[in-house]
Amino acid sequence: MNQNSCDELVPHQTRKIKPTRRSVSGVYPFRGDVAVPFESTLERDFLMRSEFFLDVLDVIAQPAQIPFFGVNGQSYTYTPDFLVYYKLGNRSYSDYPKPLLVEVKPEEEWRRHWRSWLPKWKAARHYAHEQGWQFRIYDESRVRDKVFENVRFFERYKRMSFSPEESQCVIDSVQQMGAAPIHYLLARHFMGLYRSQGVAHIWHLIATRRLDCDVSKSINEFSEVWIPINVY
């Protein structure tokens, strides 16, 4: 039976991550609710990037132990880095977003070892298919892209504090228009000396996911913002 975000039984962490001298390890406070362990800065950045998207329901570290035979014929066990669950949103159950089994690996490493690592990745792809998931390898090109650049930019505004009344006025304007360019919101709500504060305020609303925008593009005052789709 294919698993979805609504399943009661979901995979859990199968291997404890230990500190290592070769890379930076730690735990990432995913949405301030769950501590997700990581073993490298690239894995940490993957978590930060994933956290921004509202359709991501949960990220589970070290979610499965997959047996496979290496190129030398010996048996091994492979533990992928993460399993990402997505919210169903307004999609039908017949078109549910498949969970994503992820290996996060620097490009230089997987290019150097791809021949010896190919058996475990084939096993992971087969295992994911059996579970109704997908399997992907994420290197710097998929993690530290334009999206991540913008997510990092907004991160610095997340913990700022602004008037709830002013925030609601901005949100109401966007709600009435459906989508609004940032320069319009600045002209309407933050005139003159308040313009720079208004910019930070709008960045804060995006960072805290009360407003949304296309983070795959450069963000400026001509960018449009809208109310995030309420996904369940």
Residue with the bigger pLDDT between 186 and 23: it is 186
Mean pLDDT, the chain, rounded, equals 91
Express each pLDDT in 147-156 by its tens digit.
999 999 999 9
User: Residue 172: its pLDDT value, please?
Assistant: 98
Cβ neighbors of 138 (< 8 A, separation 6 or more) are 46, 102, 103, 104, 105
The whole-angstrom separation of Cα 164 and Cα 166 is 5
CB 97 within 8 A of CB 91: yes
User: Residue 8: its pLDDT value, please?
Assistant: 40
Residue 13: burial class (beta carbons within 10 Å; 0-12, 13-18, 19+): middle
Provide, rounded to the nearest whole percent, the portion of the chain with pLDDT above 90.
81
